[in-house]
Amino acid sequence: ISPEDAEPDPAAAASSQPPSMAQPEEPAGLTEQQRSRMRAYKNAGLSSEEMRRRRDEVGAQLRRQRHDEQVFKRRSLLPQPPAGEAAEATAADASNAGSRMEECGGASDAGAVQDGARPGSPMPSADGLALLVGRLAEPSSEARLEATRRLRHLLCRVSDPPVDELLQAGALPWLIAGLSESGHPALQFESAWAITNVASGQSRHSLAVAEAPGALAALVALLDSWERQPAQLTEQAAWALANIAGDSAATRDAVLAAGTIEPLARAVQHASGDGLVRVGAWCLANLCRCSNGRHAGMAAPQLAALQPCLPLLARLAFHGEPDILSDVCWALAYVSDGDNDRVQAVIDTGVCRRLVALIQHPQQLVARPALRAVGNLVTGDDIQTQVLLNCQLLPALSSLLSADGPDWARKDACWVASNVAAGNRSQIQAVLDCSLAGPVLEALRYAEFGTRKEAAWFVANAASGGSPEQVNYLVSCGCLQPLCDLLNLPDARIVEVALTALEAVLRSGASLAAAAGSGPNPFVHLVEECSGLERLEYLQSHENERLYRRSHLLIDRYFSASADDEALDEERGDADEQPLQLTTGSGGGVSGGDGSGGLAVPAAFEFQEPPA
């Protein structure tokens, strides 16, 4: 028997296994049936470390697959058919691509479509790629077209397109040169398509295109030639610029600096079909893109650079296709995310009433960015906020605050309502008159975490800027119990929001007590009944120093024995202190109330309906 055929020694085999693959010992006291089932278990023989490693590998593989699928959506224009329909679909795709080429003046490439784009097709060697790139320098335009087409096929591969290899082989300068072949639109089209797929790869690929000499200028020139060339060529140039702009702030600013906005707007305005409009709207959204809670660290572009596209965005907001509406609404949300000048620039386009209508669109794809844009607009000054209220914003929000609606709609609607509540007292009164307080407080009690945080901000803003009577109405709606419940949460940010709201309510109660001329703060006892004092005392041992200080100040101001003496001082007219500064958690404030507990709310402070 040869050594290879010899039966391995079990002991030696066990000792040669790595620690993570060692057979675990079977627990004692198992029946034979239990041992048999345990040995048949799919993970038998794997330690916890090995199983964790395998889970991590599977998770990483799934994430890479999702990323590749996302890139595929932006890159490949020849989607792969299901196996059972491969023959028919491939022929259809080839015919489709061929018709697009024929519209650009080139011959159909129906037979070559399968060349590099199909899964499993062989990848040329490094020498083969170098030879193919070398053919881009052929004097014959037809030879250059065929070489460019084959490069584009390789870049349309579903997985692992050879972007790095082609860049290293020097293909990019030749593709850029092909963009300037004004007498050969088919070559221009193939070159733009290939550059689009290069820019759809990793950030380094997009940056390579953006920094390549003449690349952006040539693509912008194609946009500006929309009258003298096929629409498909203009669309492909816009697609390439959208991929470059969508990668990072640096590439976005480079595309803007190349003067893209104005020729793109002209091309989209005169487009005869929805294809160019769709790509143009997506390109504009990428050019306007900034942080807005989605792209952290991406600074907003200068407003002056975006001004030329605002009239077009306002016009496209009335388009009927959801994909176009979504990109338009995101673009407007990005532009309006900032100071009052940015808000005013969007308001001046006259698009506000349309945005308010779109927040009730049946598709989340449209409604969510429209609601984000509206929320940004109401962060402006009181006059700018009033423009949105005049467009019937509050009734539209009411339908989104339903408990039966999706979580995102309730959360974003509470965010918009909280921004309106940060306005003047007449705007706060408009919110109360529209019966939005009830649904928002319902969300404060029972919604998911993010929605409760936005609802807490609604109470904090309304209580901080509202009149004592308006705050009295919020308390009568039951805002204190859910606010006190938030003090138990582990998230320091939402606890601080709750403290802000409670301080504003208690300060308003002190104002009510001072106006009455005598009596305790009517809201102190209610906070105690909601276990608020107990939770404030617990926060004094919180590891977050800011929460400790704020809770200590609230107790000292409204619930300590010294509060009785301050209330007496107020009755004597000594009530000239400044209110507590919410942003720093320190400072004086008008105080009142009795921390002894068991006090009934005086008849003078019976809860009323919203004041007129």
Residues 6+ apart with CB under 8 A from 77: 97, 156, 193
Collapse the DSSP code of 362 into the 3-class scheme (helix H, G, I; strand E, B; otherwise coil) and give the result: coil
Task: Give kind and range of the element (H or E) at residue 556.
Answer: none
What confidence tens digit (pLDDT) does each residue in 8-37 have? 444 443 433 433 344 445 556 667 766 666
124-259 and 400-561: identical CATH topology: yes
Angle between helices 532-539 and 492-516 (to 10 degrees): 130
Q: Which secondary-structure segment (H or E) carries 280?
A: helix 274-288
Rounded CA separation 588/548 (Å): 17
Residue indicated by tokens 């940056």: 207
Segment 262-281 shows an average pLDDT of: 92
Q: Which homologous superfamily is 124-259 in?
A: Leucine-rich Repeat Variant (1.25.10.10)
pLDDT at position 54 is 67
Instruction: State how far the alpha carbon of 29 is from the alpha carbons of 39, 46, 549, in Å.
Output: 15, 21, 57
Structure confidence by residue, pLDDT tens digits, 508-531: 999 888 888 777 889 999 999 999
Cα(152)–Cα(195) distance, rounded to whole angstroms?
A: 8
- Please list, in sequence order, all residues whose beta carbon lies within 8 angstroms of the beta carbon of residue 293, skipping any fewer than 6 positions away: none
- What pLDDT shows up at residue 560? 79
Inter-residue contact 186 to 101 (CB < 8 Å):
yes
Return the bridge partners of 581, or none. 586
Tell me the mean pLDDT in the region 132-150. 91
Distance (Å, rounded) from C-alpha 470 to C-alpha 491?
Answer: 29
The set of long-range contacts for 542-545, using a CB threshold of 8 Å and a minimum separation of 24, is: 542/492, 544/492
Residue type, 586: S
3-state secondary structure of 453: helix
Mean pLDDT of 449-466: 92
Answer for the pair 319, 358: CB distance below 8 angstroms, yes or no.
no
DSSP character string of 95-163: HHHHHHHHHTT----TTTTHHHHSTTPPPPPHHHHHHHHHGGG-S-HHHHHHHHHHHHHHHT-SS---H
Phi and psi, residue 596, nearest 5°: -75, -20
Q: Which among 30-44, 110-124, 245-259, 400-414 has the top mean pLDDT?
A: 245-259
List the chain domain ranges: 124-259, 400-561
pLDDT surpasses 50 at 469: yes
Level-2 CATH architecture, domain 400-561: Alpha Horseshoe (1.25)
- Using DSSP's 3-state secondary structure scheme, residue 537 falls into helix
Count of C-beta atoms within a 10 Å radius of residue 131: 13
In this prediction the pTM is 0.74
User: How far is Cα 289 from Cα 302, in angstroms, rounded to an integer?
Assistant: 11
Q: Output the average pLDDT for the chain.
A: 79
Q: Residue 394: how many CB atoms within 10 A of its CB? A: 20
Do residues 223 and 264 make contact, with C-beta atoms less than 8 angstroms apart?
yes
Whole-number pLDDT of residue 86: 36
340 Cβ contact list (under 8 Å, min separation 6) = 380, 381, 384
* Nearest residue to 94 (alpha-carbon basis) of 107, 73, 75, 112: 112
pLDDT at 7: 43
